[in-house]
A = this chain, B = another copy of it.
Amino acid sequence: MGNLLVLQSGGPTAVINSSLAGVIKCGFDNPQKIDKVYGALNGIEGAEQERLVLLDNFKDNKNLELLKQTPASYLGSCRKKLPKVSEDDGTYKRLFDVFEKNNIEYIFCIGGNDSMDTTDKLSKYCAENGKDIKVVGIPKTIDNDLVLTDHTPGYGSAAKFVANCMRQIALDTDVYQMPSVVVLEAMGRNAGWLTASAALANDENCQGTDIICLPERAVEKDALLAKVELISKSKKTIMIAVSEGIRDKNGNYIKENQKQGGGHDKFGHAALGGAGKTVEAWIAAELGFKTRSIELSTLQRCFASGAALCDVEEAFLAGYKGVGFALDGMSGVMAGFKRLADKPYRMEVVPMPVCEIANKEKAIPDDMISADGFGMTQKFLDYALPLIEGEPNLVYKNGVLQFAR
Chain A interface (Cβ < 8 Å from any Cβ of B): 8, 12, 42, 45, 70-73, 76-79, 160, 163-165, 167-169, 171-177, 200-201, 203, 205-206, 208, 260-261, 281, 284, 290, 292, 294-295, 297-299, 301-306, 308, 385, 388-391, 394, 396-405
Q: When A399-B389, A402-B205 are in contact, do A168 and B305 touch as well, CB less than 8 Å?
A: yes
* Cross-chain contact B404 with A72 (CB below 8 angstroms): no
What chain B residues lie within 8 Å of A298 (beta carbons)?
A: 169, 172-173, 292, 294
A261–B281 Cα distance when bound, in Å, is 11
A301–B261 Cα distance when bound, in Å, is 31
Query: Closest 10 CB pairs between A and B?
Result: A388-B399, A72-B171, A172-B302, A77-B175, A72-B172, A73-B175, A168-B302, A294-B297, A205-B403, A172-B298
The contact of A399 among B72, B385, B398, B401, by CB within 8 Å, is B385
The contact of A401 among B164, B260, B385, B402, by CB within 8 Å, is B164
* Cross-chain contact B399 with A171 (CB below 8 angstroms): no
CB distance from A89 to the nearest CB of B (A): 24
| A-B contacts besides A12-B171, A167-B400, A203-B400, 13 pairs, CB < 8 Å | A12-B175, A71-B168, A72-B175, A73-B175, A78-B177, A160-B400, A164-B399, A172-B301, A203-B398, A292-B297, A292-B298, A299-B299, A389-B398
The contact of A71 among B72, B172, B385, by CB within 8 Å, is B172
Q: Which residue of B has the minimal Cβ distance to A260? A: B284
* Cross-chain contact A400 with B260 (CB below 8 angstroms): no
* Cross-chain contact A167 with B401 (CB below 8 angstroms): yes
A390–B76 Cα distance when bound, in Å, is 30
Q: Which residue of B has the minimal Cβ distance to A309? A: B399
What chain B residues lie within 8 Å of A403 (beta carbons)?
A: 167, 171, 205-206
* Cross-chain contact A302 with B160 (CB below 8 angstroms): no
The contact of A72 among B12, B174, B396, by CB within 8 Å, is B174
* Cross-chain contact B399 with A390 (CB below 8 angstroms): yes
What chain B residues lie within 8 Å of A12 (beta carbons)?
A: 171-172, 175
* Cross-chain contact A400 with B76 (CB below 8 angstroms): no
